[in-house]
Structure 1
Amino acid sequence: MTTWSWCQSAFGVVHRVEPLVVLQQLGTSLFDTALLMVVKDRCANATEDDQQRAMSDFYMVYNLIVQLMPIVPALLLAKVGDRGWRRAPVVVPLCGYLVSTVALLQVVLLQLPIQVMFAAAVLLGTSGGFCAYWPGVMTLVSLGSEAESRSKVMMRVELMYGVAGLLGSLLSGHVFLLYSSSIGHGTVLLSVCTLLHLLSLIQATMLLQVRQVSSEQEESSPLLPHSNSGPPEMFSRKNTVNVILLFSAAILYGSSVGGAIEILGIFVIKEPLHWNVTQVGYGNAAGFAIFLTSFLGALAFRRCVSDVTLILIGMISFATGIYFMSLVTTSYMFYLSRSLTLFALIPLPTIRSLLSQQVSTSLCGITLTVLQLVLRFAALAYIPAFTKLYQRTLGWFPGFVFTISSILAVLGMFPISVIAWRRSQPISSEETTETRHVDEEE
């Protein structure tokens, strides 16, 4: 009987979104390390500064393609998802990830130019990429959770994402070095990566269960606290302001994090750190460990603070840690700086949770996708800006970009502070009068 119960539980787990997230992120973390080292190998004959410029230029073009191409496909997939095909925003991008991994494998095996990965980035973007995939996952999570516990459930999924990335990063450096006389470095790693992406696609297509929402539930609009009564028109105006503030905070904080991470990968390869592939994997693992600390921090703080305060805590954590990253000269200083960002992953999933509570269920998918698209548009500005700033300060202060990132994170705290102030304000007399007027008409 116990064995049967265990089998039922295990069978139930494979139908949930968490195994999908784990498989996909394991594959992606392996792919990221492989791509970085392949790019480095192709620039090995240049001087260190020229290598840094060549690598940063490659990643600037590659990431701009990845950020720009998914905009229209992600919107289309979001609309398809909101019309009932909830798997589409998840399954289609997984196909793109699989194709991209196979392309890098061919670059290694056939010694193709690294610029082939630009074409692979176009294919990944055409499938919607992360811009469609992650909102699709978050939409499934939102549909399967109650409003009161939604941010906690989202953070749990983020935790699984981070743990998978942690494990993948720890293994990636060692697996990258495995090769035989007939194949080169990275072939085994990319083969495993391809298998993981294939398994995630199979799980999403055949095993993933999606909660069906009735039309009555779709018409309901779960709102933030302090808005449980009153006319819908008043809620709409109040929610619109909150949505704008949440979007503003997400843009500023997302630009801060994205710009810093954009440079961090190539920053650790140059002097004075000068990391090898194994150390790069450990550094990536330290970044993914933040998913665990952020989840535990969210669980601990949630008992005594609101979601808005949680966001502020995460922003302060990242701003502090990334500022000290600009002063890093040794490996132990790098890990100390990373330890200061232990709550840095709290803000964005909590912002998504608050956004999902401002709209009806039928608009949840498109709202979260629009947020992801807005972050992509922001990336079109901060990726080249951070790249060129890093190149121009490479000789005198290469960590200057991290100082700029810290400033952006601090600026992102202002819209969240306004939301905190708005939530603390009592309902105005004008709103009360409007409420009474509507009640009299009824």
Structure 2
Amino acid sequence: MGHHEVTCPWRDHLSRLQVRTWIEPVVASTQMAASLYDAGLLLVVKASFGAGNSSIHNTTPSPRGAQEDQQQMAISNFYIIYNLVVGLTPLLSAYGLGWLSDRYHRKISIAVSLLGFLLSRLGLLLKVLLDWPVEMLYGAAALNGLGGGFSAYWSGVMALGSLGSSEGRRSVRLILIDLIMGLAGFCGSMASGHLFKKMIGHSAQGLVLTACSVSFASFAFFYSLLVLKVPEAVAKPSKELPSVDTVSGTVGTYRILDPDQLDKQSIVGHPSSPGKAKSPKTIITLLFVGAIMYDLAVVGTVDVMALFVLREPLSWNQVQVGYGMASGYTIFITSFLGVLVFSRYFRDTTMIMIGMVSFGSGALLLAFVKETYMFYIARAVMLFALIPITTIRSAMSKLIKDSSYGKVFVILQLSLALTGVVTSTIYNKIYQLTMDKFIGTCFALSSFISFLAIVPIGIVAYKQVPGLQHEDRTEK
């Protein structure tokens, strides 16, 4: 009997390793396409508002600084409208796609959003190829949004990732998907500057870069449609006590979230006191607030960073822009390693706070960057910046039924998208007003908001079942 229990889990584990259920190939190819597109979009827009563009310059010659400021204003204004379109159009379709995915087929939100994603990448390719006005990119962004955008796509990915993993391994599984995304984004960004320069001197500068982006997007779409299979949900053990799951699922370490150990805890551990533990709805609300505040800080920083590196004191070229974007993707690797290590010793809430401190400190350093090496030091301090949102998603997935994953994840993603739209507009305006006075204003603001986001997470940590930390340590 004992021998059977040892060998059976291995057989079960191997039987679940069906390659066609892996979402990773879709995530990798989509992110390659996205990272090439992001760099391509910035460089194409910069070229469109270049020195030769009379629409933003006076006919009389102006000093280089004034010309650079006008170009920055034009790029910033373009991104305000572009981000509004990207952020608001998914509101029309993303929730409906999440509902359809929960009700009919898990792949609906992924496949439809990838179709919109592919069409928007085609839009940039056509702009480069046919030299269309830069405003047509708003239409391409709208097509992406009407397909559900990133909100529908990523909530679909998270739902599939959650379905195919046990609660004990879910957080590591979700951060592993983030890691794959980060590695793909790193490779795409590193190559982007070189690919953009491929056709220098030709009218279609950036053609190779945009064609590569379309190729990866096409692969992701057809793979999700024809190859990808939905994994079977990992059943929860019947002996599991809901009250214990609700509480320790949020703050316990990943190691002690193994269902077998959870059962033992519910028998020998301290019984949970309903009066001392917050209800799941309160916990979910606090997690939502923390996620939105933190996302506000991150989105604001990332949006302004693209403009910041093009201007003095850094004044980067195409290749340096690609390398800078790639440095942002290294946090996927460091955050993954952070989760693997921290999850053995800390609660979920502690890990979320570590990530917030990491990002807040890096953003503060970024505010005072004068040289390229200082930029990379600030980026290095942000090494755990990805942990908060991923860990919050994982904690939420343990508080809800798997039949509701699509809807809850899409609500969270849409909330983040809406926050992103408002943040992008506000931060771009703040940047325009402060770029001549103190160019790091936006980064200092992000740092403050990031530290402020620790408050709701701290409340979740404080209100949880006493004794859980003690049980964890004695178990070790």
Residue pair 1:319, 1:406 contacting (<8 A) in 2 also: yes
Equivalent residue for 2:116, pick from 79, 82, 96: 96
Aligned to 2:327: 286
The answer as to 2:196 corresponding to 1:190 is no
Counting only pairs closer than 5 Å after superposition, residues 164-243 of structure 1 correspond to structure 2 as 164-179=184-199, 184-213=204-233, 223-225=246-248, 238-243=279-284
CA contact (8 A) 2:247 2:277 kept: no
Cα distance between partner residues in 1 of 2:397 and 2:249: 16
User: Does the 8 A contact of 1:14 with 1:203 survive in 2?
Assistant: no
- Does residue 296 of the first structure (1) align with residue 319 of the second (2)? no
Which of the residues 24, 37, 40 maps onto 1:34?
Answer: 40
Q: Residue 217 of structure 1 contacts residue 361 of structure 1 at CA under 8 Å; is this kept in 2?
A: no
Please give the alpha-carbon distance, in whole angstroms, between the structure 2 residues aligned to 1:19 and 1:115.
33
Q: Which residue of 2 aligns with 1:431?
A: none
Query: Could you say what secondary structure the match of 1:177 adopts?
Result: helix
Corresponding residue number in structure 1 for 2:62: none
Point out where structure 1 has 5 or more consecutive residues left out of the alignment. Answer: 1-7, 428-442
* Distance (Å, rounded) in 1 between the aligned partners of 2:249 and 2:211: 52
Cα drift, residue 396 of structure 1: 0.9
Assess, with a 3 A threshold, how the Cα gap between structure 1 residues 241 and 39 changes in structure 2: closer, same or farther.
Answer: same
Give me the TM-score of the superposition, normalised by structure 1: 0.89
Q: Structure 2: how far apart are the matches of 1:330 and 1:216? A: 53
Once the two structures are superposed, the pairs formed by residues 403-418 of structure 1 within 5 Å of their partners are: 403-418=444-459
Runs of 4+ in 1 over 6 A off after TM superposition: 214-218, 226-231, 233-237
Query: What is residue 435 of structure 1 aligned with on the other side?
Result: none
Question: Does the alignment pair 1:307 with 2:348?
Answer: yes
Structure-2 change in CA distance of 1:380 and 1:91 (3 Å): same
Which deviates more, 272-281 or 356-365? 356-365
Does the Cα contact within 8 Å between 1:323 and 1:402 map onto a contact in 2?
A: yes
1:97: how far off?
Answer: 1.0
Please name the residue that 1:252 is paired with.
Answer: 293
How far apart, in 2, do the equivalents of 1:33 and 1:255 lie? Answer: 22
Report the equivalent of 1:22: 28
| Change in 2 beyond 3 A, CA 1:236/1:361 | farther
Which region of structure 1 is more displaced relative to structure 2, 189-198 or 377-386? 377-386
Could you give the per-residue CA deviations for residues 350-373 of structure 1, whole angstroms, max 9, x where no partner exists?
000001111111111111110111
Q: 1 CA distance for matches of 2:276 and 2:114?
A: 37
CA gap of 1:307–1:97, structure 2 versus 1, over 3 A, is same
Match of 2:165 in 1: 145
- For 1:434, the equivalent position in structure 2 comes to none
Structure 2 CA distance for aligned equivalents of residues 234 and 353 of structure 1:
25
Distance 1:170 1:177 in 2: 13
Range moving further from structure 2, 178-187 or 144-153 = 178-187
Q: Deviations over 1:63-100 (max 9, x none)?
A: 11101110131100000111131001101111111101
Q: Which runs of 5+ in 2 are unaligned?
A: 1-13, 52-56, 58-66, 251-261, 469-476
- Closer, same or farther in 2 for the Cα pair 1:226/1:29, shift >3 Å? closer
Which amino acid is 2:22 matched to? R
Structure 1 residue 303 displacement after superposition = 1.0
1:15/1:148 CA distance change after superposition, 3 Å: closer
TM (norm. structure 2) is 0.83
- Aligned length, in residue pairs: 417
Deviates more, 1:99-108 or 1:178-187: 178-187
| One-letter amino acid matched to 2:38 | D
Identity of aligned residues (%): 38
Q: Residue 166 of structure 1 contacts residue 288 of structure 1 at CA under 8 Å; is this kept in 2?
A: yes
Distance 1:207 1:252, change over 3 A: same
* Structural RMSD (CA): 2.5
Q: 2:361 aligns with which of 311, 317, 320?
A: 320
Question: Matches of 2:144 and 2:86 in 1, distance apart?
Answer: 7
**Per-residue displacement from partner, 1:261-319 (whole Å, max 9, x unpaired)?**
01101110000100001000000000001100110111111111111111011000000
Residues 188-238 of structure 1, C-alpha deviation per residue, up to 9 Å, x if partnerless?
A: 1111111110001111011111123499999x975331898799x999971
Structure 2 CA distance, aligned partners of 1:245 and 1:382? 20
